[in-house]
Amino acid sequence: MENGKIRVRFAPSPTGLLHVGNARTALYNWLFARRSEGTFILRIEDTDTERSHPRYEKQLMEDLRWLGLDWDEGPIEPGTKGPGKGEFGPYRQSNRLQIYTKYAAKLLAEEKAYRCFCSIEELEAERKALLEKQLPQIYSGRCRHLSAKVLKRNVAAGLPFSIRLKIGEEPLRFQDMVRGPVEFQAEAVSDPILVRSGTEMEPGMPVYNYVVTVDDALMAITHVIRGDDHISNTPKQVAIYEAFGWPVPMFAHLSTILGADRERLSKRHGATSIATFREMGYLPEALVNYLALLGWGAEDGKTETFTLPELIQAFALERVTPSPAIFDFDKLNWLNRHYIKIASPVRLAALAWEYFGGLLPEKDDASDAVLVWFVRVVELFVPSVDHLGQLTAKALFLFGFDPDVARSKPENAEVLAADSARTVLGELANRVRAHSQPVTAEVFKRWMEEIKQATGIKGTELYHPIRIAITGSHSGPDFDKLIPVIEQGATLRVGVPSIRERVERFVGV
């Protein structure tokens, strides 16, 4: 540990969108670094050249920034080849291939690794033979003891070879901060491949377990915090650390995230990528808060809402549980509603504008009056949504609706079939006909009282038909808040029909 300072890393592969499991890993690393005043490093593992793409790297950087997870060291923007920010770069594995070649040669020179000339066909035949005998399917190590003469002849002939690490006889042990001490028997690990098949002139591509260990060691990583799907990789990495004589870091393997059906979380459970949650209108503080609770809890066992600074102060790896975490969309929605409730209406309106594309002018072209009106629209409807993406459906009637479609809805048709409905709508039409000014909340309230007194109709029989005529539905926001929003929208000419226009279309005036 460099000067006693904690150094952690988040090392994603840019082969797809950042999903919640990796985002939680990034968050826990970030919180651990910030809590200990350590260093949080972003490293891009892009040696899978066929699947890696700069657009995914750019997206994951944007997602991390959106979540508020900044990094102290890491690559510069995608598509660049510079070493990046920090003294331990480059921070992309594709820019570190010479480093891996150098250290593989060191292991070969020290006879801690060896060239394996076995072909894919030979290895597969060996595997099948072991399978038939119901024995562990591990490499026999037959190239481990090739004579110097055979080795020299094979290399001179240009035969392709992989590079394997020599595993000793002692068990491979490591300390897991979540699971405690872990041990693997050496024979279960076999001699792992470090570099895939290649030649002296054209070396093969180094494998994950090798490059991640070299990178972690050279970047002075003190704690490796990652998903529990890497537990089986860890003994191989420990063996590599020991072969080089490098200190072994502390490990913390985070539990798997499951869906409600207790199967590994996947797209079939719903949204799983950070980009999708962003598109749906979840607030970053809600998502961060929820991800933190997936496998970790506050010391008091009760507190569930945290700001980022509060999370930093409260977070401890010792409170991370090894039990699988269940992704509960209801809990996430509850948290998002909480943060929507305390968020600035102006901020929410700015975030929600994009969901009204085609209904509103371009934001940069909108007048101040329209912007202020839209804040009122958002304030009116956010109490009834789980995420901002639902606002459009809730507020769509403001921009008009088809009266025939509204009448045909079974729940509306039942209301409108009553004689009382025709009576109150007729009374409303009379008042609209006699009123030439925009309708205020006070005027509308007086009308409702007048209709009630004139007809003796009250309650839902009075309000539901009128609400259907104005909104297309028998439920919605209170009239005293809704009427001013409708009339102001009509005045601003943003495609919102006035109360008069709505009644004319629905009843006929």
Residue ranges of the chain that CATH labels 3.40.50.620: 96-254
Rounded Cα distance, 82 and 75, in Å: 8
Q: Give pLDDT, residue 121.
A: 85
3-state secondary structure of 134: coil
Architecture of the domain whose range is 400-506 = Orthogonal Bundle (1.10)
Please, what's the b/e burial string for 448-459 (b: 16 or more CB within 10 A of its CB; e: otherwise)? beebbeeeebee
Q: Give pLDDT, residue 90.
A: 94
Residue ranges of the chain that CATH labels 1.10.10.350: 400-506
pLDDT averaged per 10 residues, the chain (length 509): 81 94 97 97 90 91 96 84 82 94 96 93 83 79 90 92 94 94 90 92 92 98 96 96 97 93 78 92 97 94 93 95 94 97 97 94 94 97 97 96 95 95 95 92 96 95 96 93 96 94 85
Q: Give pLDDT, residue 504.
A: 92
Domain covering 96-254 assigned CATH 3.40.50.620 in the classification: yes
Q: Give pLDDT, residue 3.
A: 59
Residue 310 backbone phi and psi in degrees, to 5: -70, -35
Residue 128, beta-bridge partner list: none
Contacting residues for 3 by C-beta, under 8 A, at least 6 apart:
none
Torsion angle, alpha carbons of 392, 394, 396, 401, to 10: 150
Asked if residues 175 and 224 have their Cβ atoms less than 8 Å apart, the reply is no
The residues that are catalytic are 267
Asked if residues 225 and 252 have their Cβ atoms less than 8 Å apart, the reply is yes
Q: Give pLDDT, residue 79.
A: 63
Rounded Cα distance, 317 and 38, in Å: 14
Maximum CA pair distance of the chain?
111
Q: Give pLDDT, residue 316.
A: 94
Query: What single letter denotes the amino acid at residue 67?
Result: L
3-state secondary structure of 73: strand
DSSP letters, 291-347, are HHTSSB--TTS------HHHHHHH--GGGB-SSPEE--HHHHHHHHHHHHHHS-HHH
Q: Give pLDDT, residue 356.
A: 95
Peptide bond into 90 cis (omega under 30): yes
H/E segment holding residue 195: strand 193-198
